Amino acid sequence: MSSKSVIIVGGGVVGIATAALLSEAGHSVTVIDRSGLAQETSKGNAAALAFSDIMPLASPKILLRAPKWLLDPLGPLSIRPSYLPKLAPWLWQFAKASLPSRQQASISMQTALMRLAEHEMMALVDRAGIAGMVRHDGSLELYESEAELRSTEHGWQQREQAGIAFEHVRGNRLAELQPGLSPRFVAGTFVPGWKTVSEPQTFAQALWAHAERCGARFEKAEVAGLERSESGPSARLADGTRRHADRIVVCTGSWSTRLINPVTRLKIPLDTERGYNTTLPAGAFDLKRQLIFGQHGFVMTPLETGVRVGGAVELGGLDLPPNFARSKAMLDKAASFLPGLKTTGGVEWMGFRPSLPDTLPVVGTLPEDPSILLAFGNGHLGLTQSAAMGRLITDLVSGRTPGIDIQACRPDRF
């Protein structure tokens, strides 16, 4: 394998993990980002390494629930009315991806991607010397009725077939896994293999420190465009200068199509799952593990810095102002679900999750130019799948066949 010069556009956790793996493989790597390392979407996520989350958002079940959810502007799924015309093509692709045959194909791809993600992330964590930043406490999904638990049966059957361990719990076992729950919760599902990180931004920056030790470099700059030529690709910066490389990898999350559209005929239906959260101070509640309130569309995560309450999906693109009433609504619900929760002193945040209609990322090369590679669209699973994305890109840059079949993630699938 010959060493290549690689520019990674995007300093979020996917770009960072990709830089680490490329650098370990002997390539010369420069990451370029306008804000810094893990300063945007990777800064405020829910901190989960959700390797058992193999069920796509696109599903017949979601299609049935969506109309009811959309009636509540602060509910688990929201679309700004003014944004609906622009979102229509994405929604059409989402509806097609929700067909049972398409959903099963997505589950199979996610299962393979998650197996790779867990293997690569845990190995990378060990090589980086940051195993202490990963919590192995599992997750607890909560239900307010037995009927609600039964409604999730298909998903748990799929996980069982994928070899994912879980335990349905009630009574004393439920109270043992999380003391202080409201009695409205009658059952839960404990997933022991679910993991979280101590704080997502510091975790991503610790991965970067490892990448840097392996030779990766960082440049703070805004990439205004990509250019293709016979001599190789280049990144045109906002100040008019150019950076040339053998390969360029686009890892700019929700902004990726804005960067690649001028240089490709591809029409990738990328949009944003705008996620909201509130991070409460340390001591707000003795949270034993990540709690998942699936019917309400949010989670609560114990961090070294406090308790994070967030999630839900707002489809609204990149340009509309945030609606922090969504953060407040989740916090109000959390207070009723955990009566001892202290809700004062929190910090609100909103981030852009890069979302594709079939819940699968884009991994591969531009049809017009194989020297430009794409790695984005992980939705709410960017942290979880970051090391898998890095491994796949490293294989492609190094001229190796990826360890899993990535045809379902090809950039031209739409």
Q: Residue 69: what pLDDT?
A: 67
Number of structural domains the chain divides into: 1
Q: Kindly give the pairing relationship between strand 217-220 and strand 298-303.
A: unpaired
User: Burial of 346 by CB count in 10 Å (0-12 exposed, 13-18 middle, 19+ buried)?
Assistant: buried
Position 77 pLDDT exceeds 90: no
Percentage of the chain beyond pLDDT 90 is 85
Q: Residue 14: what pLDDT?
A: 98
Question: Residue 230: pLDDT band by 50, 70, 90 thresholds?
Answer: confident
Q: Is residue 277 in a domain?
A: no
Question: Residue 54: pLDDT band by 50, 70, 90 thresholds?
Answer: very high
Mean pLDDT score, 374-392: 97
A 10 A CB-CB count for 408 gives 18
Nearest to residue 323, comparing CAs of 365, 275, 291, 395? 275
| 37 vs 231, more confident | 37
Q: Is residue 245 in a domain?
A: yes
For 376, the domain range is 5-43+202-268+359-409
Q: Is residue 383 in a domain?
A: yes
Residue 71 carries which side chain, given as an amino acid letter?
Answer: L
Backbone phi, psi, residue 312, to 5°: 60, 165
Structural contact between residues 343 and 335, judged by C-beta atoms closer than 8 angstroms? yes
Percentage of the chain beyond pLDDT 70 is 98
pLDDT in tens, 169-182: 999 999 999 999 99
Q: Is residue 24 in a domain?
A: yes
d(CA 318, CA 300): 25
Contacts of 274 (CB under 8 A, 6+ apart): 313, 314, 315, 316, 322, 350, 351, 352, 353
d(CA 100, CA 71): 25
Q: Residue 1: what pLDDT?
A: 66
Question: Residue 66: pLDDT band by 50, 70, 90 thresholds?
Answer: low
Q: What is the mean pLDDT of the chain?
A: 94
pLDDT in tens, 105-145: 999 999 999 999 999 999 999 999 999 999 999 999 999 99
Q: Is residue 398 in a domain?
A: yes
Mean pLDDT score, 151-173: 96
| CATH number (domain holding residue 371) | 3.50.50.60
Half-sphere exposure of 152 (CA within 13 A, CB side): 20
Structural contact between residues 207 and 20, judged by C-beta atoms closer than 8 angstroms? yes
Its pTM stands at 0.96
Question: Residue 59: pLDDT band by 50, 70, 90 thresholds?
Answer: confident
pLDDT in tens, 80-101: 888 888 888 998 998 899 888 8
Q: Is residue 154 in a domain?
A: no
Cα 390 vs. chain centroid, distance in angstroms? Answer: 14
